[in-house]
Amino acid sequence: MLGPLTDNAETGELSPWWALYTRHQHEKVVADTLSAKGFDVFLPLYESVRRWKDRQKHLSLPLFPCYVFVRGGLDRRLPIVTTPGVHMILSRGDKVAIIPEEEIQAIRLTMESNFQVEPHPFLKCGDRVRVTCGSLQGVEGILVRKKNVFRLILSVEMLAQSVAVEINASDVELVTPANPAIAETSRLLTSIAAPPGPGRRGVANSAVSSA
């Protein structure tokens, strides 16, 4: 769920995003309650399939377990912290920890796309790339490969949590190499655009960060 993008209707000024730390499995209850109280809430969910011997069940689970994002509204702290299921407002020192707008919007775009998205172990280092086309155009993250599947890793650094979205490696361009002295990822992204020729390895055998 994602409310209006602006907090001030007159100036159109964007209020900052921040995060609530919640009780385990209370993210949806907290988000629904705060939304009903008039707060601008963002709770990204992903689809997960749980399988048993005789059946399977499709579940909508939080991408960031135990966290709910809220935009603005910090002048109304009492109705926030008294909401059942809320542990605390995430802070840095004595100030509320602000979540960068670009991190929230990158997650929002993945939720609106048709790509498969799921939680991923926190990843901070690696070759940074930018999506050049499609619904995720302009989004930046770290490109990793697992077998022949490429994933774009997006992180919310304040939470030390990441998510992964499957993507075509030919749809990204290199922004910042993890090691400027090694242009391996750049070579890989360039080679993906053309099919393998004689004596040339395909993408499946090319090197890229793996997860």
Distance CA 131, CA 137 (A): 5
The answer to whether 107 touches 120, Cβ cutoff 8 Å, is: no
pLDDT at 186: 52
CATH class, domain 1-99, is: alpha beta
pTM of the model: 0.76
Q: Does residue 87 contact residue 21 with C-beta atoms inside 8 Å?
A: yes
* pLDDT for the residue numbered 189: 53
Q: Which residues, other chains included, contact 150 with Cβ-Cβ below 8 Å and sequence gap of 6+?
A: 143, 144, 166, 167, 168, 169, 208
Confidence at residue 57, expressed as pLDDT on a 0 to 100 scale: 83
Please give the average pLDDT of every successive group of 10 residues along the chain, which has 211 residues. Answer: 44 84 96 97 91 82 96 95 96 94 95 88 89 93 90 94 92 79 51 48 41 54
Distance CA 210, CA 93 (A): 35
pLDDT value at residue 193: 47
Q: In sequence order, which residues have a C-beta less than 8 Å from that of residue 110 and are 6 or more positions away?
A: 117, 136, 139, 154, 163, 165
d(CA 108, CA 106): 5
DSSP H stretches of helix in 13-59: 27-36
Distance of CA 152 to the CA centre of its chain: 9
Extents of the domains making up the chain? 1-99, 100-211
